[in-house]
Amino acid sequence: MYKIAIIGLGPRGLSVFDRIIAYARNDSSATPLDLYLFDSKEFGPGCHTTDQADHLLVNTVACQMTQFSDDTVRGAGPLLYGPSFADWLSSNRDASGARAEIDRNGYYSRALFGDYLRWGFEYLKKLAPPHMTIFLHNYAGVDDLSWQDDQWHVSYDGCAFLADFVYLTTGHARKVLTESERTLTQKVDAARSRNPRLQLVLEPYPIRNAVSSVTATDTIAIEGMGLTSFDLIAQLTQGRGGKFEACGKMEAAGRLRYRPSGNEPQILLYSRSGLPLTARAVNQKGVFGQYKPKFLTFAKVEALRLEADGGQLDFEKQIIPLLWCDMQFAYYFAYLHKRRDKIAALMFSNEFMACDGIGARQALIDRHIDKREQLSWEKLVDPIPVLARKSRRQYDDWLRGHMWRDYEHACLGNLDGPLKSACDVLRDVRDVVRSAIDFGGLYEHSHRWVLSEFLPIMNRLAVGPPKERIAQLLALMDAGTVRADFGPGARCELDESRASFVVQSHWPGEMASANVLVRGRASLPGPLEDKSPLMRKLVQRGIVRPFMNGQFHPGGITVDRNMNVVAHDGAAQTTLWALGTLVEGCKFYTFVLPRPGANSTTMVDAGRAVGHMMDTIAARKAAGLHARRDSEYEDGMRFEASRMAHGAADHLPFHLPLDEPRRQLADQAQAFDDVQS
């Protein structure tokens, strides 16, 4: 009997659960397994809780999300088929018994996706083999984990559960306040005596709790223009009864008008870049379609690593040029296909791939594409023109035009639209990018650059909201509900003398006051910042250690390539694994959902970890069998020696060597008699 604990049953824990069941179903020896599942909430959904409002959306199309493996998954162990999110949606039936009509390329609510994950958990439970017993614990959170007497002790709700193997998949964590955040909190508390409506929100999730006390008389400043901020805006507008309507025929198709309910606060939106994330394009790739890299390949990354001193890479110098070539390839193929025909696009593509170096590729581009239509990395990174920076009004005009052009590009699709086709490369080659970054694959300075500079650019270009969110934000700006004209480098400070927050714009003297400030970013704390009692104790005992690339701590705890947790002394703990956001830093971009037909790294990591456990169990069983055979052999020897000493030496056991000297048997018989006496 082996006891296994999974601590945290969100999507990552569910992947481990899936792999354990898949392996157990294929275990011909039917080794008995006790599986203990711990989560303080529902099993399956994780942060996709099923009680969220319907206007909070997953920013991935339905057909490109799954929780199950398929034939493209390699190295994750036995396959265990299950429906993708879109297949699950279409299998639902209405009151008449007919199958639900769904948009496979549509964006659905997080609550509905949470229902799918919860259903997936029940589906997997039914597939568990008879020799597996599952124990569910979701009343409270695990508050301690310790190693005693060759077993893990999992502390839960005042009890200790013993486990031979443990998986840490606790997901998103709460963050301990920094010194500056504590100081700001104290100042806000002190100023509230003069302004009772003054509020500071540092944790935006759950969204409904974060802004529940904000009223129509408040002005709320939201720091950040990413996905979290879009959630906050939706909660404060649609969540308050506001409606979006299509504009009349005199307006461009897709333009919306916002009808306020009167319950919305005034919203001030600002960020370091001054730009919202760009829209996700209409999906034309279906379920399995992905750009196949021609330049930034796994083989190329491995070749660069073999050539590098110490095996580490410089992302900006070695990876970005290759990534840029793939983005150019996708852009110009779509551009020529759209402007001319497919043959012209194919001819150009062949020549582009045959070019020797940057200069030759640029010369080819110049021969075929007008300068004004060429893809520019500099403009992708910083699209704000000089004239737009001259005044707040000019910036506001430019920003609205920029957002609408982005919406139009998104409408063209991620294959037909040249710009969105290029930006989607950033998503499609993410696993190759991971192979360059994971496990300290970059020089320390390069790792810092990736997280501070490249990651925000990648998120803005490729990981944005559905295009409808951009149209809605424009409608809110037109209605005067949202202001986003603060430009790049805007910041918010507490004015203690006035007991209010002040958003300082790019332009001196241009500012706006607010009585509520919300940090519109989901926290992803490292182990030293994690607020949970479990992680704090694991750090204190040295069971886990923060991941370090040189002197840089990008976040997360250290694991090896089998996802085994590395202890403070540097030793891999072969019975303890961690997956998901807990290892964000040691691995890159761990919070994305598995995608059908993509050999998802989520499933591969889980499969590798569980496969390692099953190998350990098999080895222990084999060692136990040998030990039992040795014990049986020794017992037989003693038994026969005793018989011989008492006149029964003519009957030798079958496992006793026939050439064993009788003298040795007599010695053993004497030893046996000594023990008996």
Tokens, residue 147: 């190693």
Contact of 160 with 154, CB cutoff 8 Å? yes
200 with 183: CB under 8 angstroms?
no
Q: At what angle do helices 430-437 and 298-307 cross, to 10 degrees?
A: 20
pLDDT of residue 505: 97
- Is residue 297 classed as helix, strand or coil in its secondary structure? coil
For residues 549 and 563, give the distance between their C-alpha atoms in angstroms, rounded to a whole number: 17
HSE, CB side, 13 Å, CA atoms: give it for residue 474.
26
Contact 258, 243 (CB under 8 A): yes
- CA-to-CA separations, 20 to 68, 202, 574, in angstroms, rounded: 13, 37, 16
Cα–Cα distance, 21 to 5 (Å, whole number): 13
What is the C-alpha to C-alpha distance for residues 89 and 91, in angstroms, rounded to an integer?
Answer: 5
What is the pLDDT at residue 635? 58
85 Cβ contact partners less than 8 Å away, ≥ 6 residues apart: 62, 63, 65, 66, 67, 108, 113, 116
Q: What is the helix (H) or strand (E) element at residue 120, kind and residue range?
A: helix 110-127
- 339 residue type, one letter: R
Any idea of the CA torsion for 151, 155, 159, 163, to the nearest 10 degrees?
A: -30
What percent of the chain is helix, strand and coil (3-state, nearest 5)? 45, 15, 40
- Whether the pTM exceeds 0.85: the reply is yes
Q: What is the pLDDT, as a whole number, of residue 93?
A: 72
Alpha carbon distance 132, 128 (integer Å): 6
User: Which residue matches tokens 């891999």?
Assistant: 572
Nearest residue to 308 (alpha-carbon basis) of 294, 320, 318: 318
DSSP state of 375: -
pLDDT of residue 632: 53
All structural domains of the chain with their residue ranges = 2-175+525-630, 179-276+489-519, 298-463
At the topology level, CATH places domain 2-175+525-630 in FAD/NAD(P)-binding domain (3.50.50)
**DSSP code of 580?**
G
Task: Tell me which residues of the chain have a pLDDT lower than 70.
Answer: 94-96, 625-677
Describe the crossing of helices 11-25 and 110-127 by its angle, rounded to 10 degrees.
Answer: 20
pLDDT at 677: 33
Q: Comparing C-alpha atoms, which of 107, 59, 54 is closest to residue 238?
A: 54
Whether 333 and 349 have beta carbons less than 8 Å apart is answered as yes
Closest Cα partner for 327 from 294, 362, 372? 294
